[in-house]
Structure 1
């Protein structure tokens, strides 16, 4: 009789635990759940944002300005002055016609531009100089902060401006990374800021009217 009572008590105890567990699950109220105020970085990179073994690394150039521009060139064209991609972007740094117009290269024929490395180097510097002027306040305000898990640096900002234009970089920074940009290959501002961060671009003088010619 005692064994039966003990067995019944055990069964009742187990049943009570199970009943309470089911009621607890059913009574959870998520209607007021919020992530407001939390620092959340859920970033799903596209295939072009995954680091690979083809990243340009030059121990000799290091994080200098020359190292910066050659790293950008390697990413854009593998450093080929004569390349034209399927979207019509030209040369070592893959310039579009609109950007070339802004820095004074208006009447130069495509083949003349592609066969003129010196002009392409001048174009790269002029574009950096103009972008640095346009983004001068953003460089002052945001360098050293972290946006979408990436530390903001001057070289990262300038590289991203080369990718997307300074206007898109302003929107990205001032929205805290919410307003993004991706080129035709899916490459984003965040990716360029990460990949080209930490170079010394103090050599570049900001100039509103910078021209290559």
Structure 2
């Protein structure tokens, strides 16, 4: 009698074992089948972020307000197009304007910058009423900045930084905004060391807005002077 009961228990045990084994096999098979069907039916490439600009910095109000307001198909991406675009951003192209911080003329020069390029002992009204002098000052400042930033232009042009392609014209425009020293820090820190002027305009914004112009006309000159 005891042997019969023992045999019954063994039979039940093996039956349960077979059921569990079969359940495991069916579960694994179902998972594999589902995975194959998923690969066939879902195009995962549509979820790829490759090529997307995932670094975004929200511009301040000043940058939104006048973005892309200067369009000149005739001048295009030439040097003249570049300087007129910068002038429009700085002063709307007005030679006679002085802003609330004392920056002068079409390109909004500070007195310190003008002194560096040889414009000294020139009365404010004389400078504001002399378009030729202002144009010479703009070129001299570009020429000096291009010399100061010559290595950075060589190293960084063509790279992307904070979602913006670095170009020579963008670098020179940013140097006009912040000075070449601040642009060096920005580039050599990978865009970490930033700068914003009194209106909140950033180096990144200038590099984006004024990128891609032909500034090969500008000759780098350490001692560039107007007078």
Describe the superposition over 1:32-58 as per-residue Cα deviations: whole angstroms up to 9, x where unpaired: 999999996242221122264662111
Q: What's the offset of the Cα at 1:109?
A: 0.5
Change in CA separation of 1:120 and 1:14 when aligned onto 2, cut-off 3 Å: same
Provide closer, same or farther for how the CA distance between residues 158 and 15 of structure 1 changes in structure 2, counting only shifts above 3 A: same
RMSD value, Cα: 7.4
Query: CA 1:169–1:36 in structure 2 vs 1: closer, same or farther (change >3 Å)?
Result: farther
Rate the CA distance shift 1:195–1:29 in 2: closer, same or farther, 3 A: closer
Task: Report the Cα offset of residue 3 of structure 1.
Answer: 28
Q: CA 1:107–1:27 in structure 2 vs 1: closer, same or farther (change >3 Å)?
A: farther
Q: Do the aligned partners of 2:56 and 2:163 also contact (CA within 8 Å) in 1?
A: no
1:141 aligns with 2:141: no
The more displaced of 133-142 and 6-15 is 6-15
Change (3 A) 1:179 1:19: farther
Larger CA deviation: 51-60 vs 75-84: 51-60
Q: Distance in 1 between matches of 2:188 and 2:51?
A: 18
Q: CA deviation at 1:200?
A: 0.1
How big is the shift at 1:15? 26
TM-score, length of structure 1 as denominator length = 0.81
TM-score of the superposed pair, with normalisation by structure 2: 0.76
CA distances 1:5-39 after superposition (whole Å, capped 9, x unpaired):
99999999999999999999999999999999999
Change (3 A) 1:95 1:38: same
Return the structure number with greater helix share. 2
Once the two structures are TM-superposed, the CA of residue 197 in structure 1 deviates from its matched residue by: 0.3
| Structure 2 gaps, min length 5 | 1-14
8 Å contact kept, 2:94–2:106: yes
Conserved 8 A contact 2:146-2:221: yes
| Inter-CA distance 67–16: structure 2 relative to 1 (3 Å threshold) | closer
Tell me the residue number matched to 2:4.
none
Counterpart CA distance in 2 for 1:42 and 1:87 is 30
